[in-house]
Amino acid sequence: MRTIVLSIILCGVFLVGWHELVQHRLYGTRTMDVASQFDQNLMKSQSFLYTGFQPDVVIVGSSIAARLTNHPKDWYNLAFAGGSSFTGLEIVQRSNKHPKIVLVETNVLTVARDERLLDSLFFPIVSKARGRFPSLREQYKPTHVLVTELPGGESKPAAHGLSGDRFTEQVERRLGELRVPLQADSTSGIARRLADAVKKLQAKGCRVVFFEVPEYEQSEHLARPEAIRAKLHELFPDNEYAWVPHVDWSNFHTTDAVHLDPDSAKHYTHIVADFVEHLHSKPATTAPVTAD
Amino acid sequence: MLFTSARFIILVLITLVLFYTPMLRRAQTVLLIASSLVFYLVNSYEAHQTSYVILLISSITINAFTSYQTFFAKSLPKARFWATVGVIANLIILASFKYAGLLGHSMPIAWTHEAGPAHFLLMITLPVGISFFTFEGISLLVDSFKARSAEDFFGTPLDAPRSHHVLSTTLFISFFPHLVAGPILKAHDFFPQIKPKFLKDVDWQFCFRKLVIGYFLKMVIADSLKDQTFWIQYPYFMWFGGKELVVLLFGYSMQIFADFAGYSLIAIGIAGLFGYRFPENFDFPYISKSFSEFWRRWHISLSSWLREYLYFPLGGNRRGKFRTYFNLIVVMFLGGLWHGAAWSYAIWGTTHGVALAIERLFKDRIKLPDNAIVGAFKMLGVFFVVTLAWLLFKLPNFHDVISYVQAVFTNWDGPVNRPRVYNVLIFSLPVVIYHFAYLSLHHSPLKETNAWPVLQRWTAPIAYGAMMFLIAVNSGVTGDFIYFQF
């Protein structure tokens, strides 16, 4: 029993020590670049939930929208690599933040919301404890802090695009995926879930704006994106909902047939920001939605 | 309901309180069965296969009935008949539910239309824990057959009512700590333990040790490595540098150990809280100097089951050299298929079977000097092959395995993501230390001195305190246990 008691006491000592270290020495350390993709998503969400920052505009989406980083300072990008808009929508809805506008990416809606991430984020007691004690947050995991201290550990790996055969292979793969139309019930299911999420956000006083990020130009009019686009425009008509105007995809470049390269991402972010700026001057005219 | 979930911990706590309530002592077995069924029901519900609870209950019923008939049969032929019926029933259940998909995938594409046989087979999903509970059923039948002339039925008087055997069998097969991912229990080890339990007999130190190490291995190591080794999947790995691919594979080797050994330790610790002792499932497998040693240290409950109930009945090593090699390869081939209904698992098992056969072939012909350097090379060699073979677990499509190995060489000078490599190495380090600490201390003269207990007295709380601290601040987000899929 002595070992058990001593171990528990020492664990408490380590926790207090780590908390003090985080509070006084490590607070603000940037560890995002050293974390795994999933941990990065968690950090992004925890940072959204636990800081006092009240963004005017929140972007939700997948890794495609996650590249839109060059946005105005009062925006927050809550788009997740490996995820979809559904996760971000759920987080905004369950948070105590009230953004004026939520920008919803419509490129990837076939991925359901990430329950693992949401469970971790809103787990009772632990969620409150993380709010109170930053040392329990993803950002301050001892291993993340340690990696940033190692030679080359803090450097963000250079984003390199695919080239040659790999790019062609990836293009073929992506086009192959998008050529296969979704079944009607899948499209309706996506629309229904999106309508539910939008309704909840509207009830919270947020205005929802949809946007579709350009991808590889040949994929623009393939069966799957066309079907989803048509369904969404039917459910959220342009005269009632704000849509960032569709752009000519041939003016943009991707690194891997899906994600925009840094220059194109910057260019597209400007287009979205200009549209939002223009919207601020116009009142919302949205009506409640119901999916078929 | 994962071992790491709050719901599981609440279930354990409620069951523990009721279990040790003096008024309910007579109902201890029933209580554990009820909790186990709740556990299985929730797991099946989460896997969208609630109806499979009926399958579990059917399996228990078949095994209880046939094992009872086997033990109490008046003649040897009758006993053999009932044991055979029971074993065949278990194998049919396993084959129908686990291998239907494999059979469906192997059929011509033309048969996959909605009314086709392949479509029907592909619709059958894998019930949670089926590989474990069918093997335990077979163990019960074989042990019942072997124990026919004994004076008691695994410690139970022969005049005990039949319902007692039904309850014992139900607990043996369904006891929740081992139900979905082992360790695989043997009837002759477990049945004698079914008796009233008292709180004062619980070995708290033992349970604490197992639980802390188990949760640390699972939550801190395996769950963190999982998010790094995620990239070992097509086509992502094609974009990585060769050196990074080697590190990722090394990390996967550490992850699979931490995941499964962690699960087993938690199961052993929780069973210990209820007064039951499960067999150890891992014994520092990565220090093995031969493949036969590896299989004495890795998933011990499966390898000992295969040895006892398959390898020995096939003749073991008593029927000549070639028959021994054949037996080894067949047993490992079937052991591979036990892990999953995909040909990659069969290849994985066969690789180990061939390695065991080659090792046996050369064991008597080549005598290597028994020193530390040769030992280290042997250890590295076994680890290298074992780790390479894990690729077949991670990439069930054999073509992807070949592409991965090719990518290691063709991308050798490709870019390396240093933070990712650091993360893999940092999370692998505790597993390496765990093995090397054992290796260096096991035969150390220090253990014979008076300083050893003092050292243990002070280092143990520091180690356990540090592990608990890391569980609190450095856990990854829980993913399924890798062995759940088996």
Convert the pLDDT of each residue in A21-77 to its tens digit: 998 888 877 887 888 888 999 999 999 999 888 999 999 999 999 999 889 999 999
Chain A residues with beta carbon closer than 8 angstroms to that of B230: 36-38
Q: Is the pLDDT of residue B30 over 80?
A: yes
Task: Mark yes or no for CB contact A15/B479 under 8 Å.
Answer: no
Contacts with B327 (C-beta within 8 Å, 6 or more apart), sequence order: B311, B314, B315, B316, B317, B319
Task: Mark yes or no for CB contact A15/B461 under 8 Å.
Answer: no
Alpha carbon distance B281, A162 (integer Å): 44
Q: Which residues on adjacent β-strands are paired with residue A207?
A: A101
Alpha carbon distance B93, B134 (integer Å): 8
Tell whether B230 lies on the interface with A, counting CB pairs under 8 A: yes
Mutate to test the interface with B, among A2, A4, A166 (most CBs of B within 10 A): A4
Convert the pLDDT of each residue in B129-171 to its tens digit: 888 999 999 999 999 999 887 787 777 778 778 888 999 999 9
Mean confidence (pLDDT) of chain B = 89
Nearest to B466 among A14, A37, A157 (CB): A14
Q: Is A156 exposed, middle or buried (0-12, 13-18, 19+ CB in 10 A)?
A: exposed
> Average pLDDT, stretch B73-79?
91
Q: How confident is the model at residue B58, as a pLDDT?
A: 93
Q: How confident is the model at residue B484, as a pLDDT?
A: 58
Task: Give me the percent of chain B exceeding a pLDDT of 70.
Answer: 98
- In 10 A of CB A132, how many CB atoms? 9
Q: Is the pLDDT of residue B217 over 60?
A: yes
Q: How confident is the model at residue A162, as a pLDDT?
A: 60
Alpha carbon distance B479, B189 (integer Å): 31
Nearest to A143 among B418, B472, B474 (CB): B474
Alpha carbon distance B41, B55 (integer Å): 11
Contacts with B407 (C-beta within 8 Å, 6 or more apart), sequence order: B237, B238, B240, B242, B245
Tell whether A36 lies on the interface with B, counting CB pairs under 8 A: yes
Chain B residues with beta carbon closer than 8 angstroms to that of A173: 235
Q: How confident is the model at residue A180, as a pLDDT?
A: 83
Nearest to A36 among B228, B415, B478 (CB): B228
> Torsions phi, psi of A60, nearest 5?
-120, 150
Tell whether B474 lies on the interface with A, counting CB pairs under 8 A: yes
Mind telling me how many Å the CA of B100 is from chain A's nearest CA?
A: 26
Q: Is the pLDDT of residue B114 over 90?
A: no
Q: Is the pLDDT of residue B106 over 80?
A: no
pLDDT bucket at A282, cuts 50 / 70 / 90:
low
Convert the pLDDT of each residue in B272-281 to its tens digit: 999 999 999 9
**pTM (whole model) above 0.95:** no
pLDDT bucket at A292, cuts 50 / 70 / 90:
very low
Q: How confident is the model at residue A206, as a pLDDT?
A: 92
Chain A residues with beta carbon closer than 8 angstroms to that of B243: none
Q: Does the structure's ipTM exceed the value 0.85?
A: no
> Torsions phi, psi of B365, nearest 5?
-90, -35
Convert the pLDDT of each residue in B326-383 to its tens digit: 999 999 999 998 888 788 889 999 999 999 999 998 887 888 888 888 889 999 999 9
Q: Is the pLDDT of residue A291 over 50?
A: no
pLDDT bucket at B243, cuts 50 / 70 / 90:
very high
User: Which of A97-101, B145-149, B253-257 has the highest mean predicted lDDT (pLDDT)?
Assistant: B253-257
pLDDT bucket at A285, cuts 50 / 70 / 90:
low
Task: Mark yes or no for CB contact B422/A34 under 8 Å.
Answer: yes
Q: How confident is the model at residue B363, as a pLDDT?
A: 82
Mean confidence (pLDDT) of chain A = 87
B 233-272 near A (Cβ less than 8 A): 235, 238-239
Alpha carbon distance B311, B304 (integer Å): 10
> Average pLDDT, stretch A188-217?
91
Contact B94, B453 (CB under 8 A): no
Q: Is the pLDDT of residue B97 over 70?
A: yes
Q: Is the pLDDT of residue B216 over 90?
A: yes
Mind telling me how many Å the CA of B149 is from chain A's nearest CA?
A: 44
Which is more confidently placed, A13 or B314?
Answer: A13
Alpha carbon distance A123, A126 (integer Å): 6
Mutate to test the interface with B, among A6, A7, A10, A40 (most CBs of B within 10 A): A7
Q: How far is CA B253 from CA B377, B385, B394, B427, in A?
A: 18, 11, 10, 12
